[in-house]
Amino acid sequence: MLSEKSLKAIAFERSKYPQEEARSALLAALRIAQEEQGYLRDELIEYVAEILGLPAIQAFEVATFYTMYDLKPVGRHKLCVCGSVSCFLNGSDQIIGHLSKTLGIGPGETTADGLFTLQEVECLGACKDAPMMQLGDRYYENLTPESLDALIAQLRGGSEDVR
Amino acid sequence: MPHIEIDGQQIEVAAGTTIMEAAESLGIYIPFFCYHPKLSVAANCRMCLVDVEKAPKPLPACATPVADGMKIATASRKAKMAQQGVLEFLLINHPLDCPICDQGGECPLQDITMGFANPHSHYNEEKRVVEDKDIGPLITTEMTRCIQCTRCVRFGQEIGGIKELGATGRGEHMAIGTYVAKAVKSELSGNMIDLCPVGALTSKPFRYKARSWELKHTPGICPHCSTGCNTDVQSLGKEVLRVLPRNNEAVNEQWICDKGRYAYTGLNAPDRVTQPLLRDSQGKWTEVSWAEALEATLAGLEKVLARHGADKLAGLISGQSSNEELFLFQALLRGLGSPHVDHRLRQQDFRADAAMPLYPALNMSLEELEREPLIVLCHGFTRHQQPLTNHRLHKAVLNGGKVVSIDSMRQDFNFPVTQMVAEAGEDLALYQQLAGHFAHVHEEKQTDVLVHLAREMAAADNPLILIGSALLHHPQAADLLAQVETIAELAGGRIGWLAEESNSAGAWLSGCVPQRAPGGHLLAESGLPAGACWNAEMQGFILFGMEPGADSLAGAQAVQRLRDAEFVLSISHFSNEARQYADVILPMAAFAEGSGSYVNNEGRCQSFRAAVKLPGEARPGWKILRVLGDSLKLPDFQYNELSEVSAAWHHAVGDYDMDIPPFHAFPTLGAAQPIPAGTLLRLGDWPIYQGDPLVRRAKPLSTPLVARMHPDQARQSGIQGEAVEVSTASGKVTLALDLDTHIPLGCIWIPLGYPETSGLAAPYRPCSVAMAALLPETQRAS
């Protein structure tokens, strides 16, 4: 279900913790699984639990607790807009509204072409440059409707490097 | 030791004590939901917040260890504000459905709200709704009522061995459930109902039957295994409505298993007898008066005695009978001159009878089991046979002990157990090998698991060897017992017995074995043991509280003999089976309807009282026996009160020890009955909910009848599909089949205790299998 590389990475994470503390490796193992497969479907969560020798429910508890785990398929680009205090005061609602209008989807939804998923998330710790969002493993800060339009055009054009 | 003050009261407690525990010892009540003394501390309900001097915020009493000089206020303004705030938040999402909630009246949330809440809520928005989960026929879920205390989850993980339950989601979306729909399967699952502080988990069979305050409580003793759990039988009018555990730290702590909790649902089975039944010459059953039934009984017994002599009369009594009933039963049979009295339907090899102890005693207290470092189970699957004794073994493992099981198949324990499984039919060889390995324990090179076990046993200080009930089911039981004794001697260990039935110990003590009188006194002349009665041309039988077809290893043979006998009296609760062979059926008080006493596995004598009135014309067992004895003009049957019978029992049995020699000297055993080689063997045991007439009739507990076979064996036997036809010397039957790697090769596992399988030959006998057509859906419904 997972590639050799992911299995190796999970085994490495597991080796960081004592014999009886397999649970400690769960967060990392689920992240590795999600990175490879895009999202965590039930069988994948069960599989990760099995690799670590844990009851499946413990993996489900963790996977459903953290919002950064995706339990449903997500688009090629996941736009995670911060909606916490600093960003909210600096107009995150308008940012989300603009994205919704441009992409034609609400928060938590994915565009029909499978390119974009829009999510509202909690504080990502970049308050000084609010409003901000995370895309892939990068932060995009001081967002304006214009900067968003440019970014989306770039992404639609197939560009991976959008800095 | 820290010296602290709670609400102005001084107390000195051991370091590490929590505020909750310290307050409890002072008799100060702190409200709580998630805290439970038998479970780990979660501190997630926040109800027990208290005001600690110098602490900036209120602290949870259940999770805060005391420190020297701590000054705690449980009812200061700050503490009260905190408690009110927590309650207001808990009630935000809790429905106001107390009037239709089964928990109403015994609900901590209701009580604590009445005692601690601010009557005004700030919340006007919508409440959340949580989808209910279907977790089986025993527990109703109403998850909207859940306050996420996680007691059920912790119980499952820490005590019940339930690995399916958890809390998924976060914050307001957190919900208790199984995520992927699954039934919760644990023999202890019902305890989650008692633990749930709200009405989220309630008893399904009890649903909407009564309000808790209408129920009458009667202390009872569970009749379904030898642990002797203390119960609280709750009834309304003539009906038992539920059975809950009664606290007894020494026996069942505060738990009971689902068998003890739900077996009462079988009391009103359609074939319950409430009126004496008589079979006429055409074989038709009619309800008659007691006078007529007694007349027919006396005539029948006298005919057998006159025509064939007392030696052709046998008496078999259930091991669930009370001491008083057992005592009168043997007095009746022996008074009539018959030496054939027994309760051991589930034994086929009686060669070691002379070596048997005074009674099957654990030889230690249940609490002491928790501290054993090494326990070897010999054919004992305690999880299903004695669930609460099993819980003590679980605790022994949690305390760092080790449990090893030697058995004829791999068992599904709910804690780590090292399992040694015999090859098909090679049980004796396995024990012999183990005994032999004690000579090699010092040879480092030996890496065999059995040698390792021998080494561990030899190294352990006084390891504990427990003899399970399945050992006695084996056709070579006597040889197995002799090996167990040898092993104990070689290992320098102790032996304890896991008695099979709730009053097996009482049956031995009361003289319901053919070779011993009450008190264990050896009789000059021994009668035939139960198993031998089926072959001995017996013409008269008195059966008490049992169904030999489903309750004995040789069901088919038993039923055949009973049919052929001239006169069979069945003193019984249910009539389905007895109608096949009996001549008279006398209706007897069942669970919760009679009083008496049991001796549990430890040797602890515990008495119980009748909770409800007898249905119809049913009478307490001891009264039926008394009337029979009296009418047959036997001496010493002039009892008017149960207490007189109890006194006579005590006098006859005398004082017995709780710690007794596990064996007397073994007789010369002679050749063992060989186990056929080179053929498929039938294995089997009584599943947890098939073990006695009452629990078999408990609908919510019923489990589908399924044969089990190793997938490789099925392939080898050419079996494909979901059904199999099993043929043995005495009969054949078509059963649903599960493939299960727990079953050794060369065997098929078929449960006992089902009417459908009672025609098959006993376990360890040869059988053959053939492909069968798929069963209709109704037979495979799960």
Asked if the structure places residue B477 within a domain, the reply is yes
Q: B164: nearest CA in chain A?
A: A57
Rg (CA), chain B: 28
If asked whether residues B257 and B287 sit together in one domain, one would say no
Asked if the structure places residue B407 within a domain, the reply is yes
Strand pairing category for B3-6 and B216-221:
unpaired
ipTM comes to 0.83
If asked whether residues B183 and B251 sit together in one domain, one would say yes
Q: In whole angstroms, give the CA distance from residue B211 to residue B144.
A: 21
What whole-number percentage of chain B has pLDDT above 90?
A: 87
Nearest residue, CB atoms, A55 vs list B163, B168, B170? B163
Is residue A37 a contact partner of residue A6, using CB atoms and an 8 Å limit? no
If asked whether residues B18 and B75 sit together in one domain, one would say yes
Q: Which residues of B touch A57 (CB under 8 A)?
A: 163-166, 168, 178-179
Inter-residue long-range contacts of B514-518, CB under 8 Å, 24+ positions, other chains counted:
B514/B339, B514/B340, B514/B341, B514/B342, B514/B353, B515/B353, B515/B354, B517/B330, B517/B334, B517/B652, B518/B327, B518/B330, B518/B649, B518/B652, B518/B653
Q: In whole angstroms, give the CA distance from residue B496 to residue B362.
A: 4
| CATH label of the domain that carries residue B416 | 3.40.228.10
Q: So what's the pLDDT on residue B775?
A: 58
In tens, the pLDDT along B345-354 reads 999 999 999 9
In tens, the pLDDT along B690-726 reads 999 999 999 999 999 999 999 999 999 999 888 999 9
Q: So what's the pLDDT on residue B574?
A: 97
Higher pLDDT residue, B633 or B133? B633
Q: In whole angstroms, give the CA distance from residue B285 to residue B275.
A: 11
Q: A58: nearest CA in chain B?
A: B166
Q: Is the pLDDT of residue B444 over 80?
A: no
φ/ψ of residue B236, rounded to 5: -130, 115
* pLDDT band, residue A161 (cuts 50/70/90): low
Helix (H) or strand (E) holding B166: strand B166-168
If asked whether residues B400 and B341 sit together in one domain, one would say no
Place of tokens 């960081």: A16
* pLDDT band, residue B179 (cuts 50/70/90): confident
If asked whether residues B203 and B295 sit together in one domain, one would say no
Nearest residue, CB atoms, A64 vs list B165, B168, B178? B168
- Which distant-in-sequence residues (6+ apart) come within 8 Å of B380 by Cβ? B405, B407, B466, B467, B468, B469, B470, B471, B498
Q: In whole angstroms, give the CA distance from residue B260 to residue B302.
A: 40
Q: Is A122 on the interface with B (CB under 8 A)?
A: no
Q: Is B437 helix (H, G, I), strand (E, B) or coil?
A: helix
Q: B165: nearest CA in chain A?
A: A57
Summary mean pLDDT of chain B: 94
Domain extent for B311: 277-349+503-653
| CATH label of the domain that carries residue B20 | 3.10.20.740
Please state the three-class secondary structure of B570-618 as a single string: EEECECCCHHHCCCEEEEECCCCCCCEEEECCCCCEEEECCCCCCCCCC
Q: So what's the pLDDT on residue B689?
A: 96
- Answer with the one of B482, B497, B512 that is the final residue of a domain: B497
Q: Which residues of A touch B164 (CB under 8 A)?
A: 55-57
Neighbour tally for B231: CB within 10 Å: 27
Cis, bond preceding B763 (omega within 30 deg of 0): no
- Which among B163, B176, B179, B415 is the top mutation candidate for probing chain A, defined by the most A β-carbons within 10 Å of its own β-carbon? B179
* pLDDT band, residue A20 (cuts 50/70/90): confident
If asked whether residues B139 and B262 sit together in one domain, one would say yes
Q: Is the pLDDT of residue B781 over 50?
A: no
Residue B380 class from Cβ within 10 Å (0-12 exposed, 13-18 middle, 19+ buried)? buried
Q: Which residues of B touch A64 (CB under 8 A)?
A: 168-170, 179
Q: In whole angstroms, give the CA distance from residue B329 to residue B344.
A: 14
Mean per-residue pLDDT for B245-267?
96
Q: Which residues of B touch A26 (CB under 8 A)?
A: none
Q: Is the pLDDT of residue B728 over 60?
A: yes
| CATH label of the domain that carries residue B202 | 3.30.70.20
Q: In whole angstroms, give the CA distance from residue B348 to residue B528.
A: 12
Q: So what's the pLDDT on residue B466?
A: 98
If asked whether residues B196 and B217 sit together in one domain, one would say yes
Mean per-residue pLDDT for B671-692?
92
Q: Is B237 on the interface with A (CB under 8 A)?
A: no
Could you tell me the maximum CA-CA distance found in chain A, to the nearest angstrom?
52
Please state the three-class secondary structure of B41-96 as a single string: CCCCCCCCEEEECCCCCCEECCCCECCCCCEEECCCHHHHHHHHHHHHHHHHCCCC
Q: So what's the pLDDT on residue B774?
A: 64
| CATH label of the domain that carries residue B773 | 2.40.40.20
CA distance A84 to chain B (A): 16
* pLDDT band, residue B777 (cuts 50/70/90): low
CA distance B162 to chain A (A): 10
Q: Which residues of A touch B179 (CB under 8 A)?
A: 42, 56-57, 60, 64
Q: Is A65 on the interface with B (CB under 8 A)?
A: yes
Q: Is the pLDDT of residue A24 over 70?
A: yes
If asked whether residues B514 and B591 sit together in one domain, one would say yes
Q: Is the pLDDT of residue B161 over 90?
A: no
Strand pairing category for A133-135 and A138-140:
antiparallel
Q: In whole angstroms, give the CA distance from residue B686 to residue B98.
A: 41
Nearest residue, CB atoms, B178 vs list A57, A58, A65? A57
Asked if the structure places residue B359 within a domain, the reply is no
Asked if the structure places residue B99 within a domain, the reply is no
* pLDDT band, residue A10 (cuts 50/70/90): very high
If asked whether residues B585 and B727 sit together in one domain, one would say no
Asked if the structure places residue B635 within a domain, the reply is yes
Is residue B746 a contact partner of residue B408, using CB atoms and an 8 Å limit? no
Q: So what's the pLDDT on residue B172?
A: 85
CA distance B340 to chain A (A): 53
Partner B, chain A 31-50, Cβ-Cβ below 8 Å: 42, 46
Asked if the structure places residue B186 within a domain, the reply is yes
Asked if the structure places residue B125 within a domain, the reply is no
Q: Is the pLDDT of residue B294 over 60?
A: yes
Q: So what's the pLDDT on residue B209?
A: 95
Q: Which segment of A103-107, A135-139, B291-295, B641-645 scores lowest on mean pLDDT?
A: A135-139
Q: B172: nearest CA in chain A?
A: A65
Q: Do B163 and A61 touch (CB under 8 A)?
A: no
CA distance A134 to chain B (A): 22
C-alpha distance from residue A86 to each of A83, A97, A130, A135 (Å): 8, 17, 6, 19
Is residue B393 a contact partner of residue B384, using CB atoms and an 8 Å limit? no
If asked whether residues B452 and B408 sit together in one domain, one would say yes
Q: Which residues of B touch A19 (CB under 8 A)?
A: none
A52, A58, A64, A67 alpha-carbon torsion, rounded to 10°: -60
Asked if the structure places residue B749 within a domain, the reply is yes
Q: Is B115 helix (H, G, I), strand (E, B) or coil?
A: helix
Q: Is B164 on the interface with A (CB under 8 A)?
A: yes
Q: Is B166 on the interface with A (CB under 8 A)?
A: yes
Residue B265 class from Cβ within 10 Å (0-12 exposed, 13-18 middle, 19+ buried)? buried
Rg (CA), chain A: 18
Sequence length of chain B is: 782
Residue A163 class from Cβ within 10 Å (0-12 exposed, 13-18 middle, 19+ buried)? exposed
Helix (H) or strand (E) holding B558: helix B555-564
Q: Is A71 on the interface with B (CB under 8 A)?
A: no
The yes-or-no answer to whether A4-65 and A77-156 have a common fold is no
Q: In whole angstroms, give the CA distance from residue A17 to residue B175.
A: 29
Residue B209 class from Cβ within 10 Å (0-12 exposed, 13-18 middle, 19+ buried)? middle
Architecture of domain A77-156: 3-Layer(aba) Sandwich (3.40)
CA distance A2 to chain B (A): 21
If asked whether residues B209 and B182 sit together in one domain, one would say yes
Q: Is B169 on the interface with A (CB under 8 A)?
A: yes
Q: Which amino acid appears at position B770 of this protein?
A: A
- Which among A64, A67, A122 is the top mutation candidate for probing chain B, defined by the most B β-carbons within 10 Å of its own β-carbon? A64
- Which distant-in-sequence residues (6+ apart) come within 8 Å of B439 by Cβ? none
Q: In whole angstroms, give the CA distance from residue B409 to residue B423.
A: 8
B55, B59, B62, B65 alpha-carbon torsion, rounded to 10°: -20
Nearest to B729 by CA among B482, B557, B562, B489: B557
Which ranges of B121-273 does DSSP label H, i.e. alpha helix? 151-155, 191-195, 258-262
Is residue A111 a contact partner of residue A105, using CB atoms and an 8 Å limit? yes
Partners of residue B727 on adjacent β-strands:
B732, B768
* pLDDT band, residue A162 (cuts 50/70/90): low
Is residue B165 a contact partner of residue B153, using CB atoms and an 8 Å limit? yes
Q: So what's the pLDDT on residue A163?
A: 47
Q: So what's the pLDDT on residue B441?
A: 81
Partners of residue B278 on adjacent β-strands:
B286, B584
Instruction: List the domain boundaries for chain A.
Output: 4-65, 77-156
CATH 1.10.10.1590 describes domain A4-65 = yes
Please state the three-class secondary structure of B439-495 as a single string: HHCCCCCCCCHHHHHHHHHHHCCCCEEEECHHHHHCCCHHHHHHHHHHHHHHHCCEE
- Quick one: chain A helix, strand, coil %, rounded to 5? 50, 10, 40
A vs B: CB pairs below 8 A: 33
Residue B375 class from Cβ within 10 Å (0-12 exposed, 13-18 middle, 19+ buried)? buried
Q: Which segment of B121-130, B175-184, B202-211, B294-303 scores lowest on mean pLDDT?
A: B175-184
Q: In whole angstroms, give the CA distance from residue A132 to residue B232.
A: 62
Q: Which stretches of B258-393 are assigned E, i.e. beta strand?
A: 277-279, 285-287, 313-317, 340-342, 374-378
Nearest to B200 by CA among B240, B165, B236, B237: B165
- Which distant-in-sequence residues (6+ apart) come within 8 Å of B21 by Cβ? B13
If asked whether residues B697 and B620 sit together in one domain, one would say no
Q: Is the pLDDT of residue B445 over 80?
A: no
Structural domains in chain B (count): 5
- Answer with the one of B266, B290, B323 that is the final residue of a domain: B266
Q: Is A111 on the interface with B (CB under 8 A)?
A: no
Q: Which segment of B411-425, B714-728, B768-782 scores lowest on mean pLDDT?
A: B768-782
